[in-house]
Amino acid sequence: MQGRLFTAAAALFLIACSPTPQVIAPTQSTPTSTSVALSRSEMLKIGNKIWQNESGRKVSGLTAWNAGEEFPSLGIGHFIWYPTGVRGPFTESWPQFIQFALNRGAAPPAIARLRSCPWRSRAEFQSKTNSPEVAELRRWLAANVPLQAEFISQKSRAALSKIIAAAPAKDRARIQNNYRKVATTSNGTYALIDYVNFKGEGINPKERYRGQGWGLLQVLTEMKNTSAGQPAAQEFARSAKFCLGRRIANSPKSRGEARWKAGWFNRCNTYAKPF
């Protein structure tokens, strides 16, 4: 008991990075269920696949801060969490996930409920990576893989309306139909969930090379006509590789994006495999 009190006190000391740290609390409203209806076991399979894709399904990979970035990436989906005063070009998803988890009745550790990241730099984060608070956070994330997969699934479904609104009017019905065809299988649903988490919605005009994007919008647009089910999942995988290959071809040589091709294509190949 004494050890637990010490850990809790240490956590409170660690997260007090500002005089009045703001903490995320549950909301009274129940979030709309927009995720594909999957069982907990299916969500676990999808979550483990996403976790494998992002960090080799390593528990240590659930709390990471990549070199050259101004934020840590947490959870199976590498959710972004900005420190106080830092706002980058990417959507901050960690507070959204914690709000989702609280509304689902989950009990994340105290440090996870802060609205801003408690570590001000990568060096500070690395100095705390083996602390009891961060270890507790990793354990909680490892024990709640289906919850994270459900959150990513919901984000994927929410992206569809944005994608349709951003698409040319002539393509909207086909894009929506392609999404629905792919979503009729478990691996197709995983593909939709993983890809939007992997390469985004495709609606940000800044995410273009030579005017061509590579997000979910572009993949659904480039799909050829096919039937629902496994054929649609296989076609989605082909289209994803086409869009990513085009991205690499259009990218500035200085970025060296060709080095990612094999890994990206291997990830897309998992979309076509039933499970």
Q: Are residues 125 and 208 in the same domain?
A: no
Number of domains in the chain: 2
The identity of residue 169, as a single letter, is: A
Q: Identify whether 215 is part of a domain.
A: yes
pLDDT digits (tens, 9 = 90+) for 36-83: 467 888 889 889 999 998 889 999 999 999 888 899 999 998 999 999
Q: Are residues 117 and 183 in the same domain?
A: no
pLDDT digits (tens, 9 = 90+) for 147-194: 999 999 888 888 899 999 999 999 999 999 999 999 998 899 899 989
- Mean pLDDT for 1-8 is 40
Q: Identify whether 105 is part of a domain.
A: yes
| Residue 11 scores a pLDDT above 60 | no
Q: Identify whether 22 is part of a domain.
A: no
Q: Are residues 38 and 133 in the same domain?
A: yes
Q: Are residues 137 and 197 in the same domain?
A: no
Q: Are residues 45 and 98 in the same domain?
A: yes
**Cβ atoms of 74 and 141 closer than 8 Å:** yes
**DSSP letter at 114?**
B
pLDDT at 12: 37
pTM, 2 dp = 0.74
End position of a domain, from candidates 112, 146, 180 = 146
pLDDT digits (tens, 9 = 90+) for 206-251: 889 999 999 999 999 999 999 999 999 999 999 999 999 999 999 9
Average pLDDT, the chain: 87
26-29: which pairs have CB atoms within 8 A and are 24 or more residues apart? 26/99, 26/102, 26/103, 27/99, 27/102, 27/103, 29/103
Q: Identify whether 159 is part of a domain.
A: no
Q: Are residues 70 and 103 in the same domain?
A: yes
Q: Are residues 127 and 225 in the same domain?
A: no
Domain span at 89 = 32-146
